[in-house]
Amino acid sequence: MKTGIATVSISGNLEEKIEAIAEAGFTGIEIFEQDFIADIRSPAAVGRRIRESGLEVMLFQPFRDFEGLPTALRAKAFERARRKFDVMQELGCELMLICSSVHPEALGGIDRAAGDLAELGDLAASRGLRVGYEALAWGRHVNDHRDAWEIVRRADHPNVGLVLDSFHTLARGIDPETIRRIPGDKIFFVQLADAPAIEMDLLYWSRHFRNMPGEGDLRVTDFMRAVMATGYAGPVSLEIFNDQFRGGSPKTIARDGYRSLIALMDDVRRQEPEAMSGVPPLPAPVSVHDTAFIEFAAQGAALTALEDLLASLGFQRRGRHVSKAVTLWQQGNIRFLLNAETTGHAANAWTVRGTTICDIGLSVASAEDTVIRAEALGAQPFSQPIGPGEMPIPAIRGLGGSVMHLISEGALSDVWDVDFLPEDAATPEAGLTRVDHIAQTMSYDEMLSWSLFWTTLFDMQKAPMVDVVDPDGLIRSRAIAAPDGAARITLNGAESHKTLAGSFLADGLGATIQHVALATNDIFATAEALKARGFEALPLSPNYFDDLSARFDLQPEQLDRMRAASILYDADEHGEFFQFYSKPFAGQMFFEVVERRGGYAGYGAPNAPFRIAALKRLQRAKDMPTV
């Protein structure tokens, strides 16, 4: 299956776009005319450059306002088409996209448009070219692929076909099933884009908010299933107009695009197997069963402080690595590794960020399948030398240089037995059972990349975006979770460096984990146990508890206990949620303790502004520990 992407989808100049597109693994490129005109090279030189980079020039676009014009304007439109055909021949591109007219003088009329396209088809055929007609969702007379198809059908010309674009069909709410009745060989090209479900003017939505399939809310998979069912055998190409992408890194956007297309076609293969014999099978999105471990890079005094904090949270040192300066701290099913090595990935992470979470281990249905799928989606494998007697654990690079280890369900216990010399647990635990969620902080621009990373590799779904108010700016937050809640990630995107999340980022380099939430089955008992160990919870404003008693039906006695232990509360139609936080450590990381009751599947988002304000109060009071 040939894959493509329009130059308009990516930032940079034409040269940077070509490099990024080639590197990401696409077969070809759609030349957006503006990108080409802005370049100083001749069409022949640009064509040569693209082919030298290993890409095909799949499509030249857009040719606007062509069909249905009154006589004088019609002649001019044909002259314009001749000039663009010249350019295409020099470029070495044989297919032109004609988008439906928005010209104020366009007359309309299905047969008039069909006649124009048939005549253009003759002109194209005389030069060995073809034209594909696309209905823009805001076209003046033609804004529905069904009408565009009727025009192409009546044009009845071998060099005239249809271009389908998922945005134009899905944004208008047109049922993609209607594509199944179009003959596949009359579909000359397919463009894909997703978009978030927001009510707005179609043109504005399309030109600024499109995103990669899987990043938005449109039914792109259903659209593509219908296309493939027609027998379509041409390229599948991304055409993404997006303000953020225009300012992003060309390579990151191109890699995201490739990841999104491969994952989409794999979904389609799974749901429409009859139509997809040409696409090689991939392991299905992998089930994540739990967080196997979380590894900190920490050294010196900060390491001691972190050990003290973990001890106050009821963790105990349970093992020492057989050959490395790594200790294992455990409670229930939660394992923290504290890595003080002076070489390797953890040491590099420590050099760059100071104390930081440098690695996470996920317990998955199959580590091998995860690596195969990740690499097919464009992820880099990760490995470093293993010490004597150590077990090799499959690993991949996440985004931005992060590392993720993958442990198959059955192999989990072996790792700890083989790699660590056990130590006895001296004191009882404090009721923490497992990792509830991991919170990644990132700049807002990285959020789509990360949500795509998690949802394409793993069997995880994204929840709607939530706005969280920081006293100094807005944080956009989105949860990604496995269907049974066995693994949960929250992505927090900061737009301003003045926000708590933003200042955390300014201190480090790109996305990283800012906090880890640990689950208990009895938050009040856990709070007591931690207090006895010297743990200090993040203090909250008394006003918070007054407001809680106004909003919820809480027993006064329960409210008093929550106030005393700084426990926040939320509830929805599914259940209840209790949470408290540690004070910040190592700069601005912190721990959270949560108890879910009933089917509550959220993260206490209504409480986030009060947690942020409390953290900022501490920050301002210069009360932050100096670890």
Closest C-alpha to 544, from 601, 623, 608, 588: 608
Task: List the single partner that 503 binds among ligand DHB, Mg ion, none, CB under 5 to 8 Å by kind.
Answer: none
* Least distance between Mg ion and beta carbon 136 (Å): 8
Q: Is 90 annotated as a binding residue?
A: no
CB 433 within 8 A of CB 332: yes
Give the Cα separation of 532 and 496 in Å (integer): 39
Give the Cα separation of 443 and 510 in Å (integer): 7
Q: Any contact of residue 30 with Mg ion (CB under 5 A)?
A: no
What amino acid occupies position 601? A
Closest C-alpha to 363, from 418, 419, 296, 415: 415
Q: Any contact of residue 165 with Mg ion (CB under 5 A)?
A: yes
Binding site for ligand DHB (CB under 6 A): 61-62, 97, 99, 134, 136, 165, 191, 206-207, 239
Nearer to ligand DHB, 191 or 520 (CB): 191
Task: List the single partner that 227 binds among Mg ion, ligand DHB, none, CB under 5 to 8 Å by kind.
Answer: none
CB 593 within 8 A of CB 579: yes
Nearer to ligand DHB, 239 or 359 (CB): 239
202: DSSP letter: H
Task: List the single partner that 61 binds among ligand DHB, Mg ion, none, CB under 5 to 8 Å by kind.
Answer: ligand DHB
Nearer to ligand DHB, 139 or 587 (CB): 139
Task: List the single partner that 206 binds among ligand DHB, Mg ion, none, CB under 5 to 8 Å by kind.
Answer: ligand DHB
- Return the exposure string of 387-405: e unless at least 16 CB atoms fall within 10 Å of the residue's CB, then b: eeebeebbbbebbebbbbb
The residue at minimum Cβ distance from ligand DHB is 62
* Least distance between ligand DHB and beta carbon 207 (Å): 5
Angle between helices 43-52 and 14-24 (to 10 degrees): 20
Q: Around Cβ 548, how many Cβ atoms within 10 Å?
A: 18
Nearer to Mg ion, 99 or 565 (CB): 99
Nearer to Mg ion, 81 or 193 (CB): 193
* Least distance between ligand DHB and beta carbon 75 (Å): 24
Task: Find the DSSP H helices in 220-315.
Answer: 220-229, 243-246, 250-271, 300-312
Q: Classify residue 145 as exposed, middle or buried by CB count within 10 Å of its CB (0-12, 13-18, 19+).
A: buried
573: DSSP letter: S
* Least distance between Mg ion and beta carbon 182 (Å): 16
Q: Give the list of residues 6+ apart from residue 197 with CB closer than 8 angstroms, or none.
A: 216, 217, 218
Q: Is 437 annotated as a binding residue?
A: yes
Q: Is 134 annotated as a binding residue?
A: yes
Nearer to Mg ion, 165 or 359 (CB): 165
Give the Cα separation of 211 and 195 in Å (integer): 5
Task: Find the DSSP H helices in 66-144.
Answer: 71-91, 110-126
Q: Where are the beta strands (DSSP E) in 150-302?
A: 160-165, 187-192, 236-238, 288-297
* Least distance between ligand DHB and beta carbon 298 (Å): 50
Nearer to ligand DHB, 133 or 581 (CB): 133
Task: List the single partner that 207 binds among Mg ion, ligand DHB, none, CB under 5 to 8 Å by kind.
Answer: ligand DHB
What amino acid occupies position 293? F
Nearer to ligand DHB, 97 or 294 (CB): 97
* Least distance between ligand DHB and beta carbon 213 (Å): 15
Distances 77 to 51, 91, 198, 206, 444 between C-alpha atoms, Å: 30, 21, 36, 25, 43
Q: Any contact of residue 503 with Mg ion (CB under 5 A)?
A: no
The upper half-sphere exposure of residue 114, i.e. CA atoms within 13 Å in the direction of its Cβ, equals 15
Nearer to ligand DHB, 164 or 519 (CB): 164
Task: List the single partner that 62 binds among Mg ion, ligand DHB, none, CB under 5 to 8 Å by kind.
Answer: ligand DHB
Q: Any contact of residue 592 with Mg ion (CB under 5 A)?
A: no
Q: From residue 49 to residue 78, what is the string marking binding to Mg ion with x (rule CB under 5 A)?
A: ------------------------------
Distances 187 to 3, 66, 164, 236 between C-alpha atoms, Å: 16, 19, 7, 11
* Least distance between ligand DHB and beta carbon 125 (Å): 23
Task: List the single partner that 512 binds among ligand DHB, Mg ion, none, CB under 5 to 8 Å by kind.
Answer: none
Q: Any contact of residue 239 with Mg ion (CB under 5 A)?
A: yes
* Least distance between Mg ion and beta carbon 446 (Å): 26
Task: List the single partner that 33 binds among ligand DHB, Mg ion, none, CB under 5 to 8 Å by kind.
Answer: none
Q: Is 576 annotated as a binding residue?
A: no
By CB under 5 A, the residues from 182 to 211 that bind Mg ion are 191
Q: Is 15 annotated as a binding residue?
A: no
Q: Is 497 annotated as a binding residue?
A: no
* Least distance between ligand DHB and beta carbon 137 (Å): 8
Nearer to ligand DHB, 239 or 290 (CB): 239
* Least distance between ligand DHB and beta carbon 123 (Å): 21
Name the phi and psi angles at 314, rounded to 5. Answer: 90, 15
Task: List the single partner that 43 binds among ligand DHB, Mg ion, none, CB under 5 to 8 Å by kind.
Answer: none
Token pair of 339 as six digits: 């890595």
**DSSP letters of 319-376?**
EEESSSSEEEEEETTEEEEEE--SSSHHHHHHHHHSSEEEEEEEEES-HHHHHHHHHH
* Least distance between Mg ion and beta carbon 32 (Å): 10
Nearer to ligand DHB, 9 or 61 (CB): 61
Q: Around Cβ 471, how many Cβ atoms within 10 Å?
A: 12
Annotation: binding site? 134, 165, 191, 239, 437, 515, 592
Per the annotation, binding residues for Mg(2+) are 437, 515, 592
- In the complex, which residues of this chain contact Mg ion (CB under 5 A)? 165, 191, 239
Binding site membership for a divalent metal cation: which residues? 134, 165, 191, 239
